[in-house]
Amino acid sequence: MRTKAQRLALIGGLTTDEREFLLRDWPVFSHLPQREPHGNWRTWLMLGGRGAGKTRTGAEWLTALVHRDRHVRGDTAGRIALVGETYQDVRQVMIEGESGLLAIQRGDRKPKWLPSRRLLEWPNGAIAQVFSASDPDGLRGNQFGAAWCDEMAKWPYLETTWNMLQFCLRLGTLPRQLVTTTPRPLRLIRKLIEDRTTALTRSAMLLDDAAINIDEWLAQEVEIAFAEQESTAFITGDGVNKPKGLLDNPAVAETAWSWGNLGYVPTGTDGAFAASDASDVLVDTIYALKAGYRQNANWLLNRRTQAEIRKLKDADGNYLWQPPATAGEKAMLMGFPVTEAEDMPDIASDSLSIAFGDFARGYLIVDRAGVRVLRDPYSAKPYVLFYTTKRVGGGVQDFDAIKLVKFGTA
């Protein structure tokens, strides 16, 4: 390794152009987490406060993509989306800011900025279009190979803009997007954190200066994300690195039921309740369950199926579905509580859209309490990496305790 004197001598021997090139050589001066993360990620989520280098990172990443530099992966296919809170924010920060796209470019790489067209054009033909999260429809009909989203936590139409952008990211061999933002406890940020296709980095400055306990906040956010994943797995999981879901078990007609299968009662009509006496199938399902299970039984279905059931009436014109008597209680259907589970299937041909039973006895959940958060401040200085784990398992343990309703003829 060269001494300080040798390094100074080496730099002193460079020409002005060579020194300018070196000062703008991002892989030399960037911190490790400011370089593209490893792996086949789709979204790079960079969380940090003021001074964390988010804007410089975004500008350098896009520049490297445009020129296909070796230290980045992906193919922009020549079209890029720049999305900020407003058009003015994109212009003042992402493009004309002191760390923006125009400021960090070498002369031979500097794009032409066309404010009236909201367009950046690079000498090699690549273009970047400017979009505002205040106008999500502006993205409609476009297609891109890469996107840079800045201060997403401040977007006025956050999820609408984000969803529209995802439809547009379809060019190139590896469409990717970088999100640089100050963190806020928002649902979309939580979803991105728990998404397996997201690479997450955080600045140590944010962790040190935050008024809240970031470790605790992250654990709470991940706990919610894990809970959403668990509820899905308890219904449809295949048992591979997740619980074996209720509906992943074989289902047979109740008249042919045997242990190891879940029994179902058909509605008699494909993809619907019967045209007449529609509620009879619910009565049959209740009494397909043995008396010992019925006393603690409840219904399990999603909101769209519940909407259909709420329309069912008895012979006197009274609705079978009854709202909760007091706050905190559950709605009732034929005297049994109704539990809403969004991952239960919609009513369709031969769908198993309703379950009824004593789920406490029928389905076993093994849950090691809490989320484990491992904080790593060393691997990617000055950023801090977090690794979160949670152990949970589940599966049917009593096939006699749960019955299903099948929207089919048999």
- The CATH superfamily assigned to 246-366+396-407 is hypothetical protein PF0899 domain (3.30.2320.10)
162/139 Cα distance (integer angstroms): 10
Whether the CB-CB separation of 365 and 392 falls below 8 Å is answered with yes
Note the pLDDT tens digit of each residue in 380-391: 555 566 666 667
What integer is the mean pLDDT of 12-29? 61
- Locate 117 and state its tokens: 């067209």
Note the pLDDT tens digit of each residue in 330-342: 899 999 999 999 9
Which of these ranges, 17-26, 63-72, 223-232, 397-406, has the smallest mean pLDDT?
17-26
Q: What per-residue confidence (pLDDT) applies to 30?
A: 57
What integer is the mean pLDDT of 218-229? 65
Which of these ranges, 90-99, 108-117, 200-209, 240-249, has the smallest mean pLDDT?
200-209
DSSP 306-337: HHHHTT-B-TTS-BSEE--SSTTPPPEETTEE
Q: Look at residue 252 and tell me whether its pLDDT is greater than 60.
A: yes
Q: What per-residue confidence (pLDDT) applies to 211?
A: 47
Q: Look at residue 28 and tell me whether its pLDDT is greater than 60.
A: no
Q: Where are the domains of the chain?
A: 31-211, 246-366+396-407
Residues 6+ positions from 14 with CB-CB distance below 8 Å: 22
Pick the CATH number of 31-211 from 3.30.70.2190, 3.40.50.300, 1.20.120.420, 3.90.76.10: 3.40.50.300
Note if the pTM is more than 0.75: no
- Which of the given ranges, 24-33, 43-52, 145-154, has the highest pLDDT on average? 145-154
| Residue entry with tokens 């300080």 | 4
Residues in the chain: 410
